[in-house]
Structure 1
């Protein structure tokens, strides 16, 4: 079997920045095992697979270790592939995820892509030792979303210079742990750790901003926010809280087009 594969840097103004995702167009779903094997072979934080059915794009996302409920940067990358390489007509794409429902991506006049995702619901969490022990310094607040924990720190410098223990993080029962603080030049900054799903540190995590946007919208009293993920590659995001939805804008750049033989 021969399959086409793209690698796209999402939330990136140029290649070698943002978050790389693989995108594999399909005519019909492969087995779950085959998709997981491809994602493990790619060894990127996410590989997206999609099929087009009745004018909707059905999408699934796999880390090297598991299938996940939602992935922002790989959805952005998939929209880029459809619009730039696969002849998709129009500027709006309706996605459907079996795990997350209806999603949408729009190409804006300035060339940016805008994700339209459901907003996460957060609950305040206690600063238990098993949650805070992997990190130094200690966070000042904790929240629990649908799949991730959020730890809030005092300032951006603490996020940049954070000391952490991936082994200890991997024992936290969640998809990942988001660390965040108010930014100096943007509204908020963050990093994302997901060793429990095979992603030690994710370069730019679109789905995490469905949790971070409502949190910082409430804290800062504004609905439109600028954000930066402070990984080594780094990435900029523009976020808007719109009722029970979050809109996340960013750019994407094609790095690689190839073939898979299985």
Structure 2
């Protein structure tokens, strides 16, 4: 299938503010599993699926109606045009007083000793609303560090599915004036923090209406999304070709998804990070022409940069593979080998019959004293038995080889606590954690020489699905351990992905993998 899909910023008129949602239009019924696979691929707080109710219905490119009615799990919801936006007709849900002692542990874990003025619970939505003391102001709420990671373990009865923090608006005279502020957290459904949450305001609306004695109010969600009117360096607004490709797999919705953005012209520096944050994948790659006379179809050399939602990174394997796949398979680049100029030097990608081969540097990892990293290891994996510890100074990755007594299923199901790691190791020495395990005896189909998982909370990635850059360290380590120069590896994330590895005579490594391009579109900024 080819499905029309859009990303729209809600509750804002400015790109890269508000809350991005994916919207997928369905001409025909989609099986239930596909909905979740697509939503997971888009990796936004929500993906909406709009479907026709009757075969004779049509979407009409410019829908002519003043009001639309959506049939949902929450009943019929209406959206109507307004001069300055869209008005949603939503239900109101009351929130009732909640005894503090019943939720004390949850609140303390989330916000520590922050002063709480009121607590309410909405049984209809399973949201817990915590009003902070009127002594706090907006800046306090905006910068408050909320620890959501342990909440699903503490409250697992299903009674609470979302946490609202709210604060009374400051006195009038501000421009603009808001009656109340809020933030919303839903780690129970995989949303650490939602930028702007309409459903939370179905509770906040009646609560603050009663508290303030007002029927018309203005609310602001005090998240961290910063807006920007992006343009190229000439000041022109742009339409940028953008793709999502799943790397180190031949199957859609497996491997590691990366966004790939093709740049005809130089992009304002902060625009890279804005776009990467919008795409919200582990990495977004920006492929740029090096000379004005270059073109994506015939040129063989390009600039390449990689950004996580939080920062630029010096090396990324899966986004390089995704970039090459887009150029080879979608743009129909005519060359057999592409060269990318990057922060890590020149990287090459060449066509192969069954995938794309990346020519990457090989990084050694040296023995690491356990006691220097004991707190980090114990926090991440508890009492799991570690057989070897290595550190790669070139990549700032810590490699932990787990005991050979463990098998693949143990590594796949091991719960790794990444949330506290940036606070425990904040010197900058460690920027990534590799867990690895020797492959099981031959006779399996397929056979893998080693397994791994990779975590980089220091750059905003709790776990990366399949990591080419980590294999520049793993390849060096396991080649030495196994006495092999050609190996096959599997990264045991939820999505999973496999790599064929060959150490080269020149001291570099070839990493081969497949790619599945799942989205092609235009980014309008």
Shift of 1:119: 0.5
Q: Measure, in 1, the Cα distance between the counterparts of 2:331 and 2:377.
A: 45
| 1:255, distance to aligned residue in structure 2 (A) | 0.2
More displaced stretch, 128-137 vs 67-76: 128-137
Task: Write the distance in 1 (CA, Å) between the matches of 2:269 and 2:417.
Answer: 31
Q: 1:106 aligns with which of 350, 355, 368?
A: 350
Q: Residue 359 of structure 2 corresponds to which residue in structure 1?
A: 116
Q: Provide the TM-score with structure 2 as the length reference.
A: 0.48
Give the whole-Å Cα distance in 2 for the aligned partners of 1:111 and 1:187: 20
SS at structure 1 position matched to 2:469:
coil
Give the match's secondary structure for 1:82: helix
CA contact (8 A) 1:189 1:227 kept: yes
Q: Which moved more, 1:192-201 or 1:82-91?
A: 82-91
2:323 partner SS: helix
Deviation at 1:53, TM superposition (A): 2.0
Equivalent position to 2:490, from 205, 225, 228: 228
The alignment status of 1:149 with 2:398, answered yes or no, reads yes
Q: Which structure is richer in relative contact order (CA contacts within 8 A, separation 6 or more)? A: 1
Alignment partner, residue 64 of structure 1:
309
Question: What CA deviation, in whole Å up to 9, does each residue of 1:151-191 have, x standing for no partner?
Answer: 11013344223232112333334221010010123100000
Compare CA radii of gyration and give the structure with the larger one: 2
Greater fraction strand: 1
TM-score by length of 1: 0.95
* CA-CA distance at 1:43 after TM superposition: 0.5
Matched, 1:167 2:419: yes
2: CA distance, partners of 1:45 / 1:138: 29
Indicate the residue corresponding to 1:248 in structure 2.
Answer: 511
Residues of 2 paired with 1:190 and 1:21: CA distance?
19
Q: Which sections of structure 2, spanning at least 5 residues, go unmatched?
A: 1-237, 292-299, 441-446
**8 A Cα contact 2:361 2:472, kept in partner:** yes
Alignment of 1:1-262 (within 5 A): 1-53=238-290, 55-97=300-342, 99-108=343-352, 110-127=353-370, 128-133=373-378, 134-136=380-382, 137-145=384-392, 146-147=394-395, 148-154=397-403, 155-157=406-408, 158-171=410-423, 172=425, 173=428, 174-184=430-440, 185-243=447-505, 244-262=507-525
Describe the superposition over 1:223-242 as per-residue Cα deviations: whole angstroms up to 9, x where unpaired.
00000000000001101111
Aligned length: 260
- The whole-number CA distance in structure 1 between the counterparts of 2:366 and 2:267 is 37
RMSD: 1.4
Closer/same/farther in 2, CA of residues 166 and 180 from structure 1, 3 Å limit: same
Runs (4 or more) in structure 1 with deviation over 6 Å come to none
CA deviation string 1:196-230 (max 9, x = no partner): 11111111001110000010000000000000000
